[in-house]
A and B are shown apart, each in its own frame.
Chain A
Amino acid sequence: MYSKINKIFIVLSAMLLVTACSSMGVEPWERDVLAKAEMQLVTDPVEAGLDDHIYFSKEASSGGRGFGGGGCGCN
């Protein structure tokens, strides 16, 4: 139980360290590539939702990218 809390704390700290890297990034006029459709984090949202639903039904894990996204009698 405590080792789990430790693991969670370490990962959350790592996430905060990433945000502390405020020297990373681009100027507003350097967003040409980032604005491309294929560079969005979820390029095809319907496909992502379908995949999430398949794997939620067939495996014991769910989410990560977002919420479970609606209930289902499958798991």
Chain B
Amino acid sequence: MTDKQNNSIVMSLAAATCTLLGTAPAGPVNAQEDPGWNFNTSLLYYGESDGRVQDASLNLLARRSFADDKSLALTLAVDSLTGASANGATPMDVVQTFTSPSGNATYSTPAGEHPLDGTFLDTRVAISASWQQPLGRLYAVNAGLTASGEWDYTHLGGNIGLSRDFNKRNTTVSIGVAFARDNLDPEGGAPVRFAPMLDVGDLSNKMGSQDKDVVDLLLGVTQVVNRNMLVQFNYSYSDSSGYLNDPYKIISIVDPVTGDTVPRIPTPGVAGPSHEFRFESRPEDRAKHSFYGQGKYYWGGRVLDLSYRYMTDDWEIDSHTLDAKLRFPIGDSSYLEPRVRFYSQTEAEFYRASLNDGDPLPQYASSDYRLGNFDAITAGIKYGWKTGSDNDMSVRLEYYVQDGEVPAEQIIGNQSQRDLYPGLEAIIFNFSYGFGK
């Protein structure tokens, strides 16, 4: 296979998933390509330390290109999730017992440790199909459908987009919109907001399945700067509405002086929580604005990929993401690509480490560490090579660490001696194989 044909496989796949991701590819990718099938298979392992979440994933992408630059892309992803997840309760100096999400059993956390719910075991299957074709000489249109299912969650979505080239195809302007309807049907039922965690067998704090709708709008500009450099700017707006709570996350009710979680005595003869906990309550709407810029710069065979994203929403979360990759060729047919990503976010307006016993409940509160104040770094390296039959293989190994803190004004009494923020440490391993005609 010639180098030109091989380039077109990767670019076909890039074009395919540009449409899947909702952006139109830049001008150069609109070149004519031979009809045929291209494939990419990928295995991912994501594993957190301390027996927390582990995910093993298989991903398949198949793309059929037709005459006249039309193409159809199909994807299938299967994820197997195991391990434990922080449930939002604060650590205590004594053993804590919680009712499991199903309401059928309890689980306990040793003294001094972050409470983790280890009852997660889930398989997720996600599929998508998307179509892309030119419209006249300078326009291209894309449309796609997505669907996924897990034990407690289903998603159905559609997207459509349009792009137009300007300035001898040096500038491409894209617009896209996506709709999704998701349904949550958690084990035991979705909790009523702020409902107390109850004894085993008591599901009076749970409701039936709940819906969530998401609308996304994307506006993008891609600009060729010079022979070696390309930039992209995107603005996206996302609006979610419906049941936005995490059905498995709780908040500890604590003594307003000591900061210790208030003990609870279960009904005689029945197992149940050892302390007072309430399920979280989030707003029923969330509007996010994202501003994204990316540049690619080529010099002497090396490629620098630098991107920055600023996100702000009406939950008062602000985040910054800076991602840098540098690809070094090794000989004619392999490369090394180190990568570093910096992430920082401020906490949601309703983030609370705990709620005070006796105080009136706020309208919204969540102890989910993912809505908290934290920084994260990813550092890793990728090695890629051409196989004997001229196909693409790569392996990637990365380390991801999150470290955050609870706002000082929320720390009460004995809580100052405890590690209130669970943080995160994970390994990411990815093997990828791309092949085609």
Contact = CB atoms under 8 A, between A and B. Distances in A.
Interface of A: 4, 7-8, 11-12, 14-15, 18-19, 21-22, 24-28, 30-50, 52, 54-55, 58-73, 75
Question: Considering residues B26, B31, B296, which has the most beta carbons from chain A within 10 angstroms of its beta carbon?
Answer: B296
Contacts, number: 255
Nearest to A36: B7
B18 A42 contact: yes
A60 B184 contact: no
Q: Determine chain B's interface SS by DSSP, over half rule.
A: strand
Contacts of B396: 47
Contacts of A47: 42, 396, 430, 432
Interface residues of B, number: 109
Given A19-B223, A24-B225, 14 more contacts: A12-B235, A25-B167, A25-B168, A35-B11, A38-B335, A39-B303, A40-B28, A41-B18, A43-B14, A45-B16, A46-B59, A47-B432, A67-B218, A68-B178
A21 B91 CA distance: 56
B31 A35 contact: yes
B345 interface: yes
Contacts of B311: 60-61, 64
Given A26-B170, A65-B292, A66-B218, A33 B298 contact: yes
A26 B234 CA distance: 22
B99 interface: no
10 contacts: A15-B235, A24-B224, A34-B26, A37-B10, A37-B14, A40-B10, A40-B28, A46-B42, A49-B20, A67-B216
Interface in B16-65: 16-18, 20-23, 25-29, 31, 40, 42, 44, 46, 57, 59, 61
Q: DSSP majority for the A interface?
A: loop
B23 A65 contact: yes
Contacts of B176: 66-67
Contacts of B126: 70
B251 interface: no
B246 interface: yes
A42 B317 CA distance: 27
Contacts of B212: 71
A65 B234 contact: yes
Interface string B328-342: 000000010000000
A39 B28 CA distance: 10
Contacts of A65: 21, 23, 234, 292, 294, 307, 309
Nearest to A12: B235
Interface stretch (B148-156, B194-202, B353-361): B148-156
Contacts of B155: 70-72
Contact of A71 (B20, B182, B221, B319): B182
Interface in B97-123: 122
B289 A45 contact: no
A61 B167 contact: no
For the complex of A and B, 6 pairs with smallest distance between CB atoms: A45-B17, A25-B170, A66-B21, A71-B155, A73-B153, A64-B292
